[in-house]
Structure 1
Amino acid sequence: MGKRSADMSRVALVSGSSGLVGVQLLHQLFQNSAYDWVISFGRRDLALKHPKLVQIKVDFGGLDQLNVIEEIRLQNRGGDFQPLIRSLETESVQLSAFCALGTTIKAAGSKEKFYQVDHDFVIGFARMALRTGASRFFYVSAIGADSGSSVFYNKVKGEVEDDLKRIDFTYVGIFQPSLLLGDRNENRIGEEVGKILMKGLTFLGILKKYKPIYGYQVAKAMVIKDSGEDVAGYETIPSSEMHTMTQ
């Protein structure tokens, strides 16, 4: 973790906490003693409790109106969050933002709705995080992301990556996992078939860069990157590198 003074808090802002990578990300942050607080932003409360965890229910379409300190103050009836509020108010805090927001066209219902979640909500969260004081932003994209792609999914992911470059963070880390392994809330038959095929190909030594990766590995790689003192600029971390980082 970067150097900080003794009276400075380390805080993680997280969106997409209910998803495959997001759930694992919360666990990684809870277990890491360098983080004092984890603020999760979601449309509904998680069935999860932890002393570090603060949950803020949001309309992702209205993040430009969100006052994070005021939302935390509303939940501070017992005074447990007073140290966090004080740190944010006095700016004696190091903030990193982690975004694992994402959906599928099937779940979203249309390409337009998919774009809203996977692009607009991600960029809205990034801008809110910057306004709140975050200096680092970590985003779960996808292998093959390319704003010039003829594949709609890859094109949207690529546009998000391009737009994140224009936001004034000290560091932006783009994580491009291959097919994700782990328990999902919904069944994605196409992905399951793809995982079986890709496991076979990588076992044979073919297409190693497409080797499936577990959600916890992606989450762990994100937290590892945030531990670097000198990270700066814009960086893309492919699936193969995440495998190496988390062995």
Structure 2
Amino acid sequence: MKLLLLGATGLVGSRTLKLALSSSAFSEVIAPTRKPLAPSNKLVNPLGSRLEELAPVLGSYKPHAVICALGTTQAKAGSKEAFHHVDYELPIAFGKAAHAAGVETFAIVTAIGASTESSFFYARTKGEVERDVREIGFRSLTICRPSLIGGERGEVRRAEGAALALARLLAPILPKKFHVNPADVIAAALLDAAIVAKPGCRWIYAEEMN
């Protein structure tokens, strides 16, 4: 099957890309990015300075499933508007384009605590993207809600690093839903969701990805 992967340069996305390229389940992985990825014989890497410009041409690649691992932080994005663009506008734009192109299977990473009723902008944005991607109409939709994500990043996030260290220290007494979720485990859950393509909408919660 052909897989469209969004967010291939991020922590979860890069692990998903590596696993997908090594899996016999996928004949081709289409991963649009702003900067070129390392070449691979199964990788198709459309480039664009603005990812949303690539959404309308998705149909020409004929993917069977989409995995969306797009995500940033407000600090990295620089503003609430920029964060909202990456974590809400891009997933919804690609989701609509993929559905219009006939894709029936979609999996997305949001976050623990995602809720449209949240007083926190981050969690509220995640809740809104969950709500609106459900309305697109995919036959199979999987929403992964990890807690803190563990793995080596290509960037320094001091606040997140401190939170990860604290979560690991307190792991013996913390509920499982607050344990660190390894990026590789999240990636494997996303790929399994794409392959199995269970009908309907289902959530995979943090405690299932330890």
Tell me if TM exceeds 0.5: yes
Aligned length: 209
Structural RMSD (CA): 1.6
Q: Is the 8 A contact 1:60 1:124 kept in 2?
A: no
The aligned amino acid for 2:41 is: P
1:38 — aligned with what? 29
1:24 — aligned with what? 15
TM-score, normalized by length of structure 1?
0.80
Work out the CA distance in 1 between the residues paired with 2:54 and 2:137: 18
**How has the CA–CA distance of structure 1 residues 182 and 67 changed in structure 2, closer, same or farther, with 3 Å as cutoff?**
closer
Q: Is the 8 A contact 2:58 2:97 kept in 1?
A: no
2:191 — aligned with what? 223
The aligned amino acid for 2:120 is: V
Work out the CA distance in 2 between the residues paired with 1:106 and 1:198: 21
What CA deviation, in whole Å up to 9, does each residue of 1:215-243 have, x standing for no partner? 111001111222326x1111110011123
Work out the CA distance in 1 between the residues paired with 2:163 and 2:175: 13
The aligned amino acid for 1:111 is: K
Work out the CA distance in 1 between the residues paired with 2:81 and 2:113: 21
Structure of higher CA gyration radius:
1
Work out the CA distance in 1 between the residues paired with 2:58 and 2:86: 21
Which structure 2 residues correspond to residues 101-120 of structure 1 after superposition, within 5 A?
101-120=70-89
Structure 2 segments unaligned to the other structure (5+ residues): none
Identity of matched residues, %? 34
Query: Which of 46, 64, 82 in structure 2 is aligned with 1:56?
Result: 46
What CA deviation, in whole Å up to 9, does each residue of 1:124-178 have, x standing for no partner? 1111222233211010111111111001100000000000110111111000111
**How has the CA–CA distance of structure 1 residues 150 and 187 changed in structure 2, closer, same or farther, with 3 Å as cutoff?**
same
Work out the CA distance in 1 between the residues paired with 2:157 and 2:58: 36
Q: Is the 8 A contact 1:209 1:239 kept in 2?
A: yes
